[in-house]
Structure 1
């Protein structure tokens, strides 16, 4: 609930990634509000169900719906981070608000497709009578395999693959930024190498370069650094120099580029921890679920094991906000501002978000860059 309130209240949290996080938080919140209370009551009453067959089917369907939505949201978040880090230049255009809304809608539609229709089908083909005061779940092997694949195994494969690629691309770009170059991973797997040019010199030299068109104060700005992707493939060799301009803003610097990329990397690390907790919590359930459909006699104390792995999976829904609070400074600040609403104004100001400067859009004439192939770079 805190995650949802934070994204609604704080404008600096209203990004595409955090919209996916909000969708995840909604699914987790519904698991805690709708699914877990009835399950706890069912266990306390020693598997006695007092709410009728209809609500039993609805409750089971909601369990599948919300749990699957939580898992698929994690999958979409991993894809979002993969696109943001491996293709940072086109990512803002690719991940628009409309596309984020479409992906969130697709998550919930897909989750609904394997919950309510499947339970309704199972109820229609069920031959045996449901025992009184019981709420059994389907043991149909085909449904178990289908739902487990869509709800867990396929998203797990996507998340492991994307986080491996994220880690690999982040490591390459971090090293490249520190030594003065940037390698951009293209969708086809190629690496683009961009060499930044550093223009130094004294105030007098830069003032002379103005030829009367600017003042020494204007010339004495931070050295120009460009990390823009030049659009060349690794096999190309071209050198482009753009004329020096009158004024180069100070906020266009390598340190800010590195800081921005470090923040993206930290966000990916936070979501990687979320994925790790997700695997620990949900893998036992889906292994036991699949095994029970194939060979239920292979599981000793099956009833106890099912209860343990089911609740372990639901615990994952309560862990995600804790992880955000511990690892994300932005969410931690927003949580504290929400919790300190009734506190004195002086205390609330302590957790005000830092000023954030938007990246200016410079025309081509304000940038100087060069691009060389990796072969040429090695010769240098």
Structure 2
């Protein structure tokens, strides 16, 4: 939670996060019915993020047919989303519903750092995936020699190292709230998990989101144009007597375009989820953290839900993932030689 969260809008000011502690935060009370609904909504998001991304990772790592540089990037992205589901969402769920932080000051800092790390990790992965798709669609026959396992490994390594180094160094050096000391002390109370980010770091935060996002949007626009051109060429080839090599080339191009389309949808989902949060962060930092807590909570949960969305996108668009889920759920993967099962046929 990379901003100030002050719980000063409580409907019952007498209720405190810690009844017998001086300087306790005021607790905002929801009715028992509302609390149950919120726990169900947030809890189902966390569960979907954990189980869905676990399915993606098991599928790609278990089935040999899915061992490709592009799929390892997807598995690594799923790992980042899986960690959001385990280390961030359950604690945020309690904080959002109870309006108090009950997990201690030390884990508050960890929680905030994990939140930032895995968010940027997802952004960098999606950026590298868009570069991979661009090469695959524009040059499908040369692509396997360009985007190798070692290139994929470097992309994964950079995504994790850059994201975690940035977040940990920002929050553990205290650089995030330089110049905001008075505001922090004025709004600090026992039972809040508050991290203020000053204007300079909010701008760096936003640029780390905006630059990779811009690269993604430009590349997917180019992919769309190339795909249209390829589709036109394939139609003209099909109208003539096609050679077997031209037919193979057309099938490869079609498969790569379908993969690019699916991952393009994942990028759009990411933008819709995270853009409102980053815009709010900038506005908030420059206007003195005036956003009401409930608006902030809505935006942050909108962003968290992105971690649960990617597996749903894959399940909807990838027949190989649907088949892999069936084999995992039925326990077929525990049988001998299950890793060599054919999941991807030419028609998929």
Same fold (TM over 0.5): yes
CA distance in 2, matches of 1:266, 1:161: 18
CA distance in 1, matches of 2:138, 2:210: 24
Unaligned runs of 5+ in 1: 182-196, 199-222, 226-251, 357-380
Q: Which residue of 2 aligns with 1:331?
A: 321
Of 283, 297, 316 in structure 2, the residue corresponding to residue 291 of structure 1 is 283
Judged with a 3 Å threshold, the aligned counterparts in structure 2 of structure 1 residues 353 and 52 are, in CA distance, closer, same or farther, namely closer
Q: Which residue of 2 aligns with 1:309?
A: 299
Higher CA-based Rg: 1
Of 176, 188, 197 in structure 1, the residue corresponding to residue 233 of structure 2 is 176
**What is the deviation of 1:178?**
2.4
Q: Which residue of 2 aligns with 1:91?
A: 143
Do structure 1's residue 133 and structure 2's residue 191 form an aligned pair? yes
Q: Which residue of 2 aligns with 1:263?
A: 255
Of 7, 26, 30 in structure 1, the residue corresponding to residue 79 of structure 2 is 26
Q: Is the 8 A contact 2:140 2:256 kept in 1?
A: no
CA distance in 2, matches of 1:156, 1:64: 16
Runs of 4+ in 1 over 4 A off after TM superposition: 123-126, 296-299
Q: What are the residue-to-residue correspondences of 1:112-191 with 2, within 5 Å?
A: 112-122=164-174, 125=178, 127=181, 129=185, 130-150=188-208, 152-180=209-237
Q: Which residue of 1 aligns with 2:4?
A: none
Higher relative contact order (CA 8 A, sep 6+): 2
> Going by fraction, where is helix more abundant, 1 or 2?
2
- TM-score w.r.t. the length of structure 1 is 0.69
CA distance in 1, matches of 2:283, 2:260: 33
Give the length in aligned residue pairs. 283
CA distance in 2, matches of 1:278, 1:50: 30
Q: Is the 8 A contact 2:125 2:155 kept in 1?
A: no
Q: Is the 8 A contact 2:65 2:342 kept in 1?
A: no
Judged with a 3 Å threshold, the aligned counterparts in structure 2 of structure 1 residues 276 and 143 are, in CA distance, closer, same or farther, namely same
Q: Is the 8 A contact 2:320 2:344 kept in 1?
A: no
SS state at 1:171 partner: helix
Q: What are the residue-to-residue correspondences of 1:186-225 with 2, within 5 Å?
A: 225=243
SS state at 1:111 partner: helix
- TM-score w.r.t. the length of structure 2 is 0.75
Q: Is the 8 A contact 1:122 1:138 kept in 2?
A: no
CA distance in 1, matches of 2:304, 2:129: 19
Q: Is the 8 A contact 1:82 1:163 kept in 2?
A: yes
Q: Which residue of 2 aligns with 1:66?
A: 118
**What is the deviation of 1:97?**
0.6
**What is the deviation of 1:107?**
0.6
CA distance in 1, matches of 2:245, 2:138: 21
Judged with a 3 Å threshold, the aligned counterparts in structure 2 of structure 1 residues 155 and 33 are, in CA distance, closer, same or farther, namely same
CA distance in 1, matches of 2:233, 2:88: 48
Judged with a 3 Å threshold, the aligned counterparts in structure 2 of structure 1 residues 66 and 297 are, in CA distance, closer, same or farther, namely closer
Q: Is the 8 A contact 2:56 2:311 kept in 1?
A: yes
Q: Which residue of 2 aligns with 1:272?
A: 264
